[in-house]
Amino acid sequence: MKKYFIALLYIGLLFLVVFLQLSLINSWPYAFSRINIILLALILFLFFLDFKTVILLALGLGLLTDIFSWQLFGFYTLTLFLVVFLADFLLANWFTNRSTYSFLALTFFATLSYNFILYGLFYLSNFLSDRGFFLWQANFWAGLGWELVWNLGIIFLFFWVMNLTTTRLKPVFLDKR
Amino acid sequence: MFKNRIKPHIKIIVVAGLLIFLHFIGVLSPLERLTVKVSQPIFNKLYSLGSDWRKDYNQKNSQVDLNAKVNDLENELGTLVVANARLKDLENENQKLREYLNFFSQQQMNYILAKVTSQENFLDSVKYGQNIIINQGSVNNLIPGLVVINGQGVVVGKVLEVKENSARVCLLINNSCKLVVSILNQNRTIGVTEGNLGLTVKINFVGQTEKINQGDIVVTSGLEKDIPAGLVLGRVSQINNNENDVWQNINVEPLVNFDNLGIVSVVLP
């Protein structure tokens, strides 16, 4: 029973994150609309949940976003999967503790990889249209800059508050196998 | 190492692939339609909350420019009063002529109201998300290419893609949103609009011999299938003529506030 309750809770959480991102945050003023809570949620999941649950949540987030998106179905799912595996690889090999620096570095790499993969896929799917290559566009870099500032700021704030309230931060990212 | 991390989760990856495959063969369509339909009221509510805040935020930011704008508008008001008086005379004259000619078949437009449910927001867009999503779709006879207007009848954009219960509309400022328009100058010059850096609109394919003035009104030309003529888009704000160019470089200031798009109308053929 408890298992189903938790599953329902997760599903509700996924819907909430996608609703907030696609309808609320996307309609905010320019700089604020660059907050990416789908990615932030995924990064936090990576730190607090086991990897299998994170992959399932990434699948749920990706599919939900794909349902509401007007891009080719599967782009968001594929991107989130790749970001999760890349982040897990970094966690297992590079960031072996739960310091704020690990969190921030992971957020930085995850944000970069998410946007490069996603916009790469968009570009490939629109290859024949007159849409310019995203890496040559100043707007892309400005948007990416804002997204990095928000994501890093929010993650930093989150763990700063957590450090104030709890002292139970143990090093859990050492590979147990 | 990387392989070892993926191996235990291969089942989930296969399930993801299968779900994507099922989407493309249409098996998931009923579930997706249901999800979209159930979510639309929540999307409407959240979008209006967000856009209200954006409107307030942008208004506060632009208060500095307001004084200058008030002066401009006062000057413009004087000109418009004169123009209005002249147009009223013309309207009376037109009315009488219509009566004489028994010509009352004034064209009625069919339209459908739609709520904006969300806004596409890509990193490479500038100030506004350049596409909006509305809550009417193919079940309401929407097809790609239809023109979308706001409450005052000013053109907002064009329907790009249609799903059963939703449609994706490109805003005029989107680079890939193109409309065949007519400039209300002496020759009723025809051109093609295109979004300019996500902020304004430019008109392409206007020859150097055409005489365009700043302030000329730009309307739809009626040359496009399913788009009636005479819908206002904006006014010419800047003309940069370089004699070596084949075409004139014309910028148009849209008359629609893209921050304030809660409800729009789609003009049906």
Examine the pLDDT at A136 and tell me if it is beyond 70.
yes
Helix (H, G, I), strand (E, B) or coil at B83: helix
CA A138, CA A142: separation in Å to the nearest integer?
A: 6
Quick one: B203 and B173 in the same domain? yes
Which of A52, A81, A139 comes nearest B125 by C-beta? A139
Quick one: B261 and B144 in the same domain? yes
The reply to whether B118 touches chain A by the CB within 8 Å rule is: yes
Averaged pLDDT for residues A8-19: 93
Quick one: B155 and B135 in the same domain? yes
Q: How many CB atoms lie within 10 A of CB B5?
A: 17
pLDDT value at residue B100 = 45
Q: How far is B40 from chain A (nearest CA, A)?
A: 10
Angle at A171 between CA A100 and CA A83, to 5 degrees: 60
Interface test with B, best of A21, A26, A77, A81 (most B CBs within 10 A): A26
Cβ separation of B118 and A68 shorter than 8 Å?
Answer: yes
Quick one: B128 and B221 in the same domain? yes
- CATH number, domain with residue B153: 2.40.10.340
pLDDT value at residue B103 = 35
pLDDT value at residue B101 = 56
pLDDT value at residue A96 = 67
Q: Mark which of B28, B45, B61 sits at the end of a domain.
A: B61
Q: CA-based Rg of chain A, rounded to a whole angstrom? A: 17
CB contacts, 8 Å: A147 with chain B = 123
The reply to whether B15 touches chain A by the CB within 8 Å rule is: yes
Closest CA to A121 of A70, A74, A52: A74
The reply to whether A23 touches chain B by the CB within 8 Å rule is: yes
Beta bridge partners of B133: B118, B168
Examine the pLDDT at A167 and tell me if it is beyond 90.
no
Examine the pLDDT at A61 and tell me if it is beyond 50.
yes
Residues of chain A with pLDDT > 70, as a percent, come to: 89
The reply to whether A16 touches chain B by the CB within 8 Å rule is: no
Beta bridge partners of B234: B218, B254
Of the two residues A175 and B10, the one the predictor is more confident about is B10
A:B CB pairs within 8 Å:
123
Averaged pLDDT for residues A146-159: 92
Averaged pLDDT for residues A38-55: 89
Confidence of residue A139 (pLDDT cuts 50, 70, 90): confident
Number of domains in chain B: 3
Region of residue A156 (phi > 0: left; psi between -120 and 50: alpha; otherwise: beta) = alpha
Pick the residue from chain A with its C-alpha nearest to B16. A59
CB contacts, 8 Å: A130 with chain B = 175-176
Examine the pLDDT at A15 and tell me if it is beyond 50.
yes
pLDDT value at residue B74 = 73
Element at B263 (helix H, strand E): strand B263-268
Q: Mark which of B80, B106, B132 sits at the end of a domain.
A: B106
Residues of chain A numbered 49-108 and touching chain B (CB < 8 Å): 51-52, 55-56, 59, 62-64, 66-68, 70, 73-74, 77, 81, 85, 88-89, 92-93
Please give the C-alpha separations between residue B38 and each of B34, B114, B144, in angstroms, as whole numbers: 6, 16, 24
Q: How far is A101 from chain B (nearest CA, A)?
A: 23
Quick one: B135 and B116 in the same domain? yes
What confidence tens digit (pLDDT) does each residue in A67-118 have?
999 889 999 999 999 999 998 888 888 776 667 788 889 899 999 999 999 9
Cβ separation of A68 and B1 shorter than 8 Å?
Answer: no
- ipTM, two decimals: 0.81
Cβ separation of A24 and B50 shorter than 8 Å?
Answer: yes
CA B153, CA B143: separation in Å to the nearest integer?
A: 19
Examine the pLDDT at A129 and tell me if it is beyond 70.
no
Please give the C-alpha separations between residue B140 and each of A70, B26, B90, B154, B165, in angstroms, as whole numbers: 19, 21, 38, 22, 8
Q: How many CB atoms lie within 10 A of CB A41?
A: 20
Domain extent for B232: 109-269
Quick one: B113 and B100 in the same domain? no
Give me the residues of chain B with pLDDT under 50, please: 100, 103-105
Contacts of A78 (CB under 8 A, 6+ apart): A62, A117, A121
Please give the C-alpha separations between residue B132 and each of A10, B22, B30, B40, B223, in angstroms, as whole numbers: 29, 27, 23, 14, 25
CB contacts, 8 Å: B13 with chain A = 81
Pick the residue from chain B with its C-alpha nearest to A93. B1
What confidence tens digit (pLDDT) does each residue in B90-119 have?
776 676 566 545 533 455 678 888 989 988
Quick one: B126 and B202 in the same domain? yes
* CATH C-level class of A2-165: mainly alpha
Asked whether the beta carbons of B151 and B251 are under 8 A apart, the reply is no
Query: What is the DSSP secondary-structure string of chain A?
Result: -HHHHHHHHHHHHHHHHHHIIIIIGGGS-TTGGG--HHHHHHHHHHHHS-HHHHHHHHHHHHHHHHHH-SS-TTHHHHHHHHHHHHHHHHHHHT--S--HHHHHHHHHHHHHHHHHHHHHHHHHHTTTSSPPPGGG-HHHHHHHHHHHHHHHHHHHHHHHHHHHH--------S---
Interface test with B, best of A25, A27, A52 (most B CBs within 10 A): A27
Quick one: B124 and B33 in the same domain? no
Quick one: B102 and B178 in the same domain? no
Beta bridge partners of B148: B157, B266
Examine the pLDDT at A144 and tell me if it is beyond 50.
yes
Closest CA to B219 of B242, B201, B198: B201
Confidence of residue A169 (pLDDT cuts 50, 70, 90): low
Query: What is the DSSP secondary-structure string of B203-231?
Result: EE--BTTS---TT-EEEE-S-STT--TT-
Averaged pLDDT for residues A144-153: 94
Quick one: B118 and B234 in the same domain? yes
Quick one: B44 and B86 in the same domain? no
Quick one: B160 and B248 in the same domain? yes
